[in-house]
Structure 1
């Protein structure tokens, strides 16, 4: 169980499933995100955190994605800040990074799903 008071730069609501309201984020992952945020020194807007398997982005997948394990988050960021965040994420042990830097919905996906059998290291673009 996560004590959200331990994370001065994040709230539970940011990580709640937008479909169900559930939140099963893993403490070890949020600990790493907080360390990244502290070093980054700027806000990190979480656009997607935990996703229940019934979430539209998950329900048509053949196997559950990293968000369903509570060890993934998408951070709304672009430009030089995106490059700096990727550097910090790698520095703090994130080895799975997805990059979406086109159009209006730019974000970085960070996850630690290697503990659930996902290939690592991995870098991909959307």
Structure 2
């Protein structure tokens, strides 16, 4: 699964238990984004086991193995969002307020989430 030039398995694994159920299709899409971006992507969060996700009081997107949070700010955020949408990511979460080091873009490629508007969709934190 993790035979690529850009990401290590540990970057996409759950931070609390080390389990990694990151989906191959999502990784393939992420690799395409990284290649087009042309610079390293710092992954803040990849797969989250259900227990870790519950402790964070977060939606289920990361527990599906189809979501990442990428540390990025300012113009880099816009470039990342544009490329991610072009490569098939359907959920874009934008956190661009506060200290630059705490800013990120959430990317997921889920088809839909019950009770949510049709995808693709963008939201802010």
Cα distance change on mapping 1:64 and 1:99 into 2, 3 Å: closer
Contact 2:112 2:119 in 1 (8 A): no
How many angstroms does 1:113 deviate by?
1.8
Paired position in structure 2 for 1:9: 6
What value does the CA root-mean-square deviation take over the aligned residues? 1.8
Gaps of 5+ in 1: none
Gaps of 5+ in 2: none
Query: How many residues matched?
Result: 121
For residues 42 and 114 of structure 1, the distance between their equivalents in structure 2, rounded to whole angstroms, comes to 28
How many angstroms does 1:64 deviate by?
5.6
Of 30, 33, 37, which aligns to 2:34?
Answer: 37
Paired position in structure 1 for 2:22: 25
TM-score (norm 1): 0.88
Cα distance change on mapping 1:25 and 1:115 into 2, 3 Å: farther
How many angstroms does 1:75 deviate by?
0.3
Runs of 4+ in 1 over 6 A off after TM superposition: none
TM-score (norm 2): 0.89
Structure 1 residues 14-56: Cα deviation after superposition (integer angstroms, max 9, x where no partner): 011011110000000000000000000010000000000010x
